Chains A and B, each alone.
Chain A
Amino acid sequence: MTKIGTKLGFGRKKKPEGWNRPPVIEQTSEGELLEVAMGPHHPSTHGVFRMNLALDGERVIRLKPEFGYLHRNHEKLGEGQSYLASMPYTDRLDYLCSLTNNWAYALAVEKLTGQQVPERAEYLRVILSELTRFQNHAGTIGFLMQDMGCSGTPLMYAFREREKILDLFEELTGSRMMCNYMRFGGCRVDATPAWLDATRKVVAGLPAFLDEFEALLRSNEILMARTQGVGILPPDLAVNAGITGPLLRASGVNYDIRKVDHYGIYDRFNFKVPLGDHGDVYDRFMIRMLEMRESLKILDQALKEIPGGPVVDPKAKIRGFRPKPGEAYGRIESPKGELGFYLISDGGPNPYRYRVRPPSLINLTVLEDMSLGQNVADVVLILGSVDIVMGEVDR
């Protein structure tokens, strides 16, 4: 296996034309190719997603993803209603991480209107996003193990902790998954001291879970045999194909929007960006493990420093406002990658154009490149390591 290393030759090396296209793999065996439509109803495709595979024995020599089974034209819905009315709809994009979706949308509207957010609301946003990231990564690792045939145990361990976090969400926002919590210029309701204490208690228990989870999986022989050297993504291709999130960082590219944009108040916290150096499925699993630890660091600091004060700017116009004509692109580091919202206002009460930049869809661009030449059973793992939610892919 070749080591990719962390040194990158961004655009400096002269590359041949078409280097960023998937390679053409020749058939080596005699006999017919087997064409398989994997999905849309397949337990490993994480929803209604289909891959058209051409197999040469066990080897994948062609892979074409097919989308659209869950398409409901989310963007058109956004153009037909007021800015606030789209907020609950953003919960349904990546339905495992509704709070980060809320934040990305709120951030884009705040950029469009030039609103400020009070300090306490910023802290609450950070706390909720990091909890979201934690439960998403734990769940992703659990599902990856499930895809590998390790049925039940790791996923149930992850869901046991996720349950505690969802209980916190329910207590604060009224809903476990469809939280609809953030508003333009702050958050909807204030957190009570009792809620903050309960959160501190849950967060204090998470490192023990992580130690247990990591000890269970990290050096498991079967896991290592199945994932190391599988689905390698080179860093230059990852950058060129717009890959973001843990998938990009597993290939060794140091790009975390929390560190780059410092949106919200992320410049106040001390945390590291874990990087992989092989870009394989194992690195993607390990990056998520390490990112959970960094999220806990942020949570500890935020829960200690959270100030008092209002959670929403009293002068903020939340409903029925008309932004001045203009446009804004706001983005955050969601657990899946760069989640962005692009809004164009023509001065009316509804956005003229409402665009979601879905990390799940764009991360699938390189699914074919990663899977070619691999065995068909590994395609399941590679797809699991990308971490997609079809609500966001199809919109």
Chain B
Amino acid sequence: MSNWPAETKYIGQNTPRIDGAVKVTGKARYSSDIQAAGWLYGMILRSKWPAAKITSVNLDKARQIPGIKAAVRARDGAFTVRFYGEEIAAVAGTSKQACLDALRAIEVQAEVRHEFVVNETEARKENSAQVWEGSANAPANPRPRENGNVDTAFPECAAVIEGFYSTPVQIHNPMETMGNTVSWTDDGLTAWSSTQGISSVRDGLAGALKLDHSKVRVVTEYMGGGFGAKFGAGVEGMLAAKLSKEANAPVRLMLTRFDQALAVGNRPSSFQKIKIGATADGRLHAFEAENYGTAGIGAGGDSGGGGGGADIPMPYIYQVPNTRVKQSAVAVNAGAARAFRAPGHPPASYGMESAMDDLAAKLGIDPLEFRLKNDPHPIRQREYKLGAEKFGWNQKYQKPGSSPGVVKTGIGCAGAAWPAGGGSRDTHGDAQINPDGSIEFRFGVQDIGTGTRTVIAVVAAELLGLKPEQITVRVGDTNFPPGPGSGGSTTCASVSPAVYDICQKALQQLQTQSGLADARGENWFAACKKLGVNPLVVHGQWQQGLSADHACGVQFAAVEVDTETGLVTVKKVLAVHDCGLIIDKLTLESQINGGVIMGMGYALYEERVMDDLSGVVLNPNFETYKLPGLADVPDIEVVLINMPERGVIGIGEPATVPTAGAIANAVFNAIGVRVGSLPITPAKILAALGKVPPAVAA
């Protein structure tokens, strides 16, 4: 049981983010806004070949372009590139225009390999081109992971379905691309990074450039989103550092939107062949699955359901007594995958939840009832029941395909589990309390957009009896005490207990020094005044018992499907989530909205498309890689299950997990036919309805 106060003034309320004003006025300096004195613009030359041996890179002509101050190779000597967009060289100059000219002037000699493969299904074939020479793209026979005995269990089932469910490669596309401004002098290196992990960027730069960690400082005051792709300095960070050293000036090297789609991460695809059976009383009895997906060049080898980047948790949140699961990661000539908001979970949820509804339909039972029977988790049980009532599930539910008319309506639901979300014990922070009563918190974490500064201010204000706007919060600097990366939905649960620790210690010391029995609230300024001339500096760190992990969450979706155009319109999503003690309801709701909308993009719009013949990414920009817009976004209702007794738990990831599954099931419910492939495009809807001839295989 947590020690958080039972009665609160700010915790659990709506506090507008404390850095909101600088963000809405344009005053916030994002990493891409940094204008260090004498800064140069940097750009990268990328491979136009999906596979080639680069034999020489001549930078002489590039260096002669007016304004160009440095030019570096991505690697020394001859080297191999394995995907379209791999880094070859970089330049820095006084303007973007000079850099554009210089990139065109770089002379690259290459032995182009005509054998390459970008399609994961092709890459698994025995005669496929090899991404890594002498090594198979995927294991021929991945090791099965087994529980019970599926071979005897399937014949015991009353109903069995077999389905094939696939999900595309999804691109992170944070609004601010990856990149850094790097200043590398004899005194050390400073990088203003667009990162979600200032410590991991510092360690990465120090390691790669052979510098003491103490000589590398990473600053991230404001950054424009990451979603898992921005933990490291990346090749672009190393290149910016080398350019800075050569030019003896700070270099700002932000990726272009095109670059961003090629080389800095994505969510692996999945191709899930699922066979699932239940007994006559509607209990899951047997589950057999084979899944493969690609993590680009970052795959290859037997994942055995663990590692390799493309494996997903199967059979996801359900307990099935007899299971056999085979998984493999397939290498293709494309940029490597990176962590992406709840890695593995959205594809796992989509596949399994689709199979659940397909099986429920075969059994002839309501899919919600089927879930309540087979998902024993007490929190999800409560969430499903509450959500069903609020959503009007029983009134709205009709058998799949029974909606009349041209525009059919349907509803669906799906569940989530997120094992992380707890705090990192390696979270440290300082607070400086000045005699004038002002207080400044310093944390070596970064705000990825979730409102970390605001969380720190809300918790401190609550515990010290102040207002959030009286708390100054500084984050995003490795000169501050170290904290975790913003990943795994852990930041809120990491910093909140550390703030708690700092506040307890601060009050104790203030009370001792001032002689006041309670230094909080109205006594705060009097107590601080007694400090005399020296500020009080308090160090604190994460404490056990104030946070927890493992959040659940369920979502319900209502859709309309136009059976003449194939267009799916999401009318409503009800998101029922738990995350322990609610710190700031306003920013929490924002994260849930964001999770739902990103999940909706995954369900209906997003997909990296590659050309098999040229190996090129065909949609490396927003006009072809479609994200949900304001007009697409449905009515989103949020129900928060308040569980203060669990302490603080993160929400960023669980909120995006079940959306695609819920929407896909709502589409199935509307039209009565399964579209077993994300994104659910109009073309796939019309094909599923038999309204267009099937695509001719190449």
Tell me, yes or no, whether A binds B.
Answer: no
Please report B residues at the A interface, Cβ cutoff 8 Å. Answer: none
Residues of A within 8 A of B (CB): none
